[in-house]
Amino acid sequence: MYDIVSIGETMLRLSPPIPMRLEQAASLEVHFGGSESNTLVGLSRLGAKTCWISRLPDHPMGQQVARLIGMHGVDTSHIVWTAEDRLGVYFYEPASFPRPGEVIYDRKDSAFTHLAQTELPIKPLMHCRWFHATGISLALNPQIRSVMEFAKTKARSNGAKVSFDFNYRAKLWGIDQAIEGSSQWVESSDLVFFAKRDAIAYLKLDSDSSDEAVIDRLCELRNGKCSVVTLGERGAIASEAGSRVYASTRKVEGAGRLGGGDAFSAGFLFGRLSDWSLADSLAWANAMAGLKYSIPGDMPILHKKDVERYLSQTSPSGVQR
């Protein structure tokens, strides 16, 4: 029995050294990242039993993806391997004030986008407590949307709860497409995650809507099921069955902004797996995200004791000796 199973794409990420632009760089830093696998890595490092399902090219780079995810304790034995397709790539130019960061995708026809329902490993979906999905996978193409829907149905029919991160990517699909393609996930999932700006767009609220108005409308739409809205530097707000809690953040030095939302999801899901209160789950999620911002790369390379120490401190301490 797995605590949580997820399906998604992990890509090669190439970035210039900060603060250079891509067109200036003579060399590029290599990382690997994907929302679902990042979340599973965070959960696995906290002690959860996790499984990642994907489709990868059977060559050195695809094998490296599996090794890197597996070394953190995630079960990668159910990856579908192919000799015919490519690994998805994206280029990330980090922000350097006043210039924002930018992502350039090169993922068309990647191995994962050709994952067929007939290839999908069923056994992990029949033996898990939670199934986690994101809007990134739904955005890729109709075939993957169908595969994800089938996986959700299979997991739920065997007793699993469903977690869904809306995780909107404007470079993959428009907001109207995202709303149409994910509405059933948003309304039926046991737990959903939204960034506030995306929740406002999804709910068609005014841009200046209060945090409380957004979370209350989301919970109303979802009949009181657990809903979480992140608020950027101000923290996060969550609601479930009429109970609403807020957690503030602590300012951190940012070494790696990518993957913070995935670390947040991992922290909150760990609280759900541990039967913690809504407030404790939200505090843990915020701590995971804050710690991830101090770590380069996409994956939350954290230990449980790091989060416990972070939550117990009123201010950062010096070297742990």
**Residues classed as catalytic:** 262
Peptide bond into 19 cis (omega under 30): yes
| Nearest residue to 94 via CA among 257, 302, 260 | 257
Burial 83-112 (b: 16+ CB within 10 A, else e): eebbbbebbbbbeeeeeeeeeeeebeebbb
| Nearest residue to 269 via CA among 295, 294, 300, 243 | 300
Q: What is the DSSP string of 255-302?
A: S--TTHHHHHHHHHHHHHHTT--HHHHHHHHHHHHHHHTTSSSSS---
Residue type, 251: K
Return the SS3 of 47.
Answer: coil
- Asked if 229 and 218 count as a contact pair (C-beta separation under 8 A), the reply is yes
* Integer Cα distance of 275 and 135 in angstroms: 26
- Asked if 213 and 204 count as a contact pair (C-beta separation under 8 A), the reply is no
* Integer Cα distance of 166 and 189 in angstroms: 11
What is the Cβ-side half-sphere exposure of residue 165, based on CA atoms within 13 angstroms?
28
Helix (H) or strand (E) holding 30: strand 29-33
Count of beta carbons in the 10 Å neighbourhood of residue 267: 28
